[in-house]
Chains A and B, each alone.
Chain A
Amino acid sequence: QKEVEQDPGPLSVPEGAIVSLNCTYSNSAFQYFMWYRQYSRKGPELLMYTYSSGNKEDGRFTAQVDKSSKYISLFIRDSQPSDSATYLCAMTPTDSWGKLQFGAGTQVVVTP
């Protein structure tokens, strides 16, 4: 069983819709949770960063962490065609500095 599970998609939504992405994980030691966006043939770029449980909002992006359910989510409001990319969740435990465990990534396609 993978430590981090993420549906690879593709997830197709019309422009303006809300994109809902999620990951589940099995390691209760994970404390830091990130969402990265990766365009084709490019390196990932950090979108959101959350420590422990709770919500975090940044512009059109909202990240949620539910540690009791080992479930994290990313919501993108008012989606744009430029949001079309692969979104990867990543997480790391407190005592494994810097060692990110990535999900497989969900491919998102926002159609005009």
Chain B
Amino acid sequence: GAVVSQHPSRVICKSGTSVKIECRSLDFQATTMFWYRQFPKQSLMLMATSNEGSKATYEQGVEKDKFLINHASLTLSTLTVTSAHPEDSSFYICSATSGRENTGSEQFFGPGTRLTVL
């Protein structure tokens, strides 16, 4: 299957700082990328959908000014957690797909980024 990488794999930051997480599709062009967060023993919750070259679509309840998403190219999307607070500590996972029309087109997931805000 296709490979999606995330960087960093884990990050610890102080409250009030901003953190940027990168998601890259290594061997395919990702028309669409998704950002999820996952709390321990809970399901993945979709935060936003980003299409290359356009603004991200955020799910209800997700603050777009706090979670800035940029999908500047077909292989890179970034999630910036601005003014992070301890409650933002979570496992953030991105996924990518090359499909646009085909519903259910496979999403390839990155390995995740563990964010800890002190």
B-side interface residues, number (CB < 8 Å): 30
**Does B109 count as interface, using CB distance less than 8 angstroms?**
yes
- Contact check, A8 vs B111: say whether CB atoms are below 8 A apart: no
**Does B114 count as interface, using CB distance less than 8 angstroms?**
yes
- Contact check, A94 vs B103: say whether CB atoms are below 8 A apart: yes
A-side interface residues, number (CB < 8 Å): 30
Binary CB contact string for chain A from 96 to 112 against chain B (1 if under 8 A, 0 otherwise): 11111011110100000
Residues of A with C-beta under 8 A to B34: 98
Interface centre among B1, B99, B104, B111 (most CB of A within 10 A): B104
**Does B44 count as interface, using CB distance less than 8 angstroms?**
yes
- Since A49-B106, A92-B104, A99-B46 are in contact, a sample of 19 more A-B pairs with Cβ atoms closer than 8 Å, ordered by chain A residue number, is A31-B103, A32-B104, A36-B109, A41-B91, A41-B111, A43-B93, A43-B110, A44-B109, A46-B107, A46-B108, A51-B104, A92-B103, A98-B34, A98-B104, A98-B107, A100-B46, A103-B43, A104-B41, A105-B43
The 9 lowest CB-CB distance pairs between A and B, nearest first, are A32-B104, A43-B109, A102-B43, A104-B43, A102-B44, A43-B111, A97-B103, A44-B109, A43-B112
A-B contact pairs, 14 of them (CB 8 A): A4-B43, A8-B41, A41-B114, A43-B93, A43-B112, A93-B103, A97-B103, A98-B32, A98-B34, A98-B49, A98-B104, A100-B46, A105-B41, A105-B43
Query: Interface on A for B, CB 8 Å cutoff?
Result: 4, 6, 8, 31-32, 34, 36, 41-46, 49, 51, 88, 92-100, 102-105, 107
